[in-house]
């Protein structure tokens, strides 16, 4: 006789039958979400079995069997691994102290998951919530587990520039350095000093940020400035009626830059064919110069982004012919 045991809870889980007789069934149950599950037995060729106790329930408990690491950066960013049971249930959340530890969805199974801590201080209780709560673990935010950035070799630079960052608790093989939203690449170094190569980003000053595992986010108030400049424009002249597309070359541009030619907005975006913005150039449409001018008029180009300005003096001329 072949016996199949089905465990139902928002769908069904199958208990793998190992041995059975007319009076008992031995089966191995795999992943079972936290909560109470009604037991049903289906017998091949006969249908659903009548159990002596209707509504027999199997309970799967939410619990933590291990947590690692147990301490990390006061700035947050520590990846904490949990092992246990009942994690993969709708509504699962991890709270350390009064702050959410953000679950990394790609790691979540019924028996294991990782989450990323928020900022905190001192000893904090840990709870996992969905159907119930499981606590008892303590996570400690330690100054001695907090990486820190204290200096940078240059205060400004352009993409491709190699900079040296000084601090503590660095791990070149397992750290990320971000300036603005741009990653600093090719990180090498030791626990107190690393070098990296600047990526492309918009002009302006930004606090250097870093995440170093297994510790977490670094403490930093060190700023670095991406260069912002206008080098050239072509074509360099056009009609007073405007409407022509110009290309402005330079550094530090972005798709949120504002461009002014002769104090008039030079428009760009997906709604205007042939225009757009990249780090080192912008294409925009010249606006009409409405004044009644009978001679050529040469003027400046101004680009603004993130509160920073770059000026190109006398780079564009409105012509009368």
Which domain CATH number covers 234? Answer: 2.60.40.10
User: How many domains is the chain partitioned into structurally?
Assistant: 4
Q: Do 198 and 233 reside in the same domain of the chain?
A: no
This prediction has a pTM of 0.76
Q: Do 247 and 290 reside in the same domain of the chain?
A: yes
- The answer for residues whose C-beta is within 8 angstroms of residue 47's C-beta and 6 or more apart is none
Domain boundary among 144, 162, 191: 144
Q: Do 69 and 132 reside in the same domain of the chain?
A: yes
- Residue span of the structural domain in which 11 resides: 3-60
Question: What pLDDT is attached to residue 79?
Answer: 97
Q: Do 131 and 152 reside in the same domain of the chain?
A: no
Give dist(CA 165, CA 304) in Å, integer.
Answer: 28
Q: Do 70 and 128 reside in the same domain of the chain?
A: yes
Give the tokens for residue 209. Answer: 């940020």
Q: Do 216 and 234 reside in the same domain of the chain?
A: no
Max distance between CA atoms of the chain, in angstroms, equals 106
| 92 φψ region: left (φ > 0), alpha (ψ -120 to 50), beta (else) | beta
Q: Do 262 and 309 reside in the same domain of the chain?
A: yes
Domain boundary among 208, 226, 244: 226
Tell me the average confidence (pLDDT) per consecutive run of 10 residues in the chain, 321 residues long. Answer: 43 70 75 75 68 69 88 98 83 90 93 95 88 73 98 90 97 95 94 94 89 97 90 91 92 87 91 91 89 80 85 89 72
Q: Do 235 and 303 reside in the same domain of the chain?
A: yes
Q: Do 184 and 246 reside in the same domain of the chain?
A: no
Radius of gyration of the chain (CA): 31
List Cα–Cα distances, 188 to 104, 172, 204, 245, 255, in angstroms: 27, 5, 25, 43, 31
**To which H or E segment does residue 104 belong?**
none
Domain boundary among 106, 123, 144: 144
Q: Do 233 and 314 reside in the same domain of the chain?
A: yes
Q: Do 18 and 48 reside in the same domain of the chain?
A: yes
Question: What pLDDT is attached to residue 190?
Answer: 97
Question: What pLDDT is attached to residue 51?
Answer: 64
Q: Do 188 and 113 reside in the same domain of the chain?
A: no
Strand partners, 40: 6
Question: What pLDDT is attached to residue 131?
Answer: 47
Strand partners, 41: 5
């Amino acid at each position: 006789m072949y016996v199949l045991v089905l465990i139902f809870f928002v769908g069904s889980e199958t208990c793998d039958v190992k041995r059975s007789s007319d009076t008992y069934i031995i089966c191995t149950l795999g992943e079972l979400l936290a909560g109470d599950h009604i037991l049903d037995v289906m017998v091949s060729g006969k249908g659903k079995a009548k159990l002596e106790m209707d509504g027999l329930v199997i309970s799967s408990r939410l619990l933590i069997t291990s947590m690692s690491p147990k301490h990390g950066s006061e700035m947050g960013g520590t990846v904490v691994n949990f092992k246990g049971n009942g994690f993969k249930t709708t509504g699962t959340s991890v709270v350390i102290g009064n702050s959410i530890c953000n679950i990394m969805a790609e790691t979540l199974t019924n028996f294991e998951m990782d989450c990323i801590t928020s900022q905190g201080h001192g000893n904090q209780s840990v709870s996992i919530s969905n159907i119930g709560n499981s606590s008892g673990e303590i996570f400690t935010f330690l100054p001695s587990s907090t990486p820190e950035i204290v200096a940078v070799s240059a205060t400004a630079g352009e993409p491709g520039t190699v900079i040296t960052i000084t601090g503590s608790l660095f791990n070149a093989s397992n750290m990320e350095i971000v300036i603005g939203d741009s990653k600093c690449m090719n990180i090498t170094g030791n626990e107190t000093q690393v070098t990296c190569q600047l990526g492309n980003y918009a002009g302006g000053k930004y606090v250097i940020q870093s995440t170093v595992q297994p510790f977490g986010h670094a403490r930093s108030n060190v700023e670095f400035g991406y260069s912002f400049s206008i080098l050239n424009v072509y074509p360099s002249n056009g009609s007073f009626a405007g409407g022509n597309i110009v290309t402005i070359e330079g550094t530090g541009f972005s798709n949120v830059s504002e461009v002014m030619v002769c104090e008039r907005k030079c428009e760009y975006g997906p709604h205007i064919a042939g225009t757009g913005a990249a780090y080192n150039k912008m294409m925009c449409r010249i606006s009409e110069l409405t004044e009644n001018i009978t001679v050529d008029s040469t003027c400046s180009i101004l680009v603004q982004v993130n509160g920073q300005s770059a000026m190109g003096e006398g780079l564009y001329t409105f012509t009368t012919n």
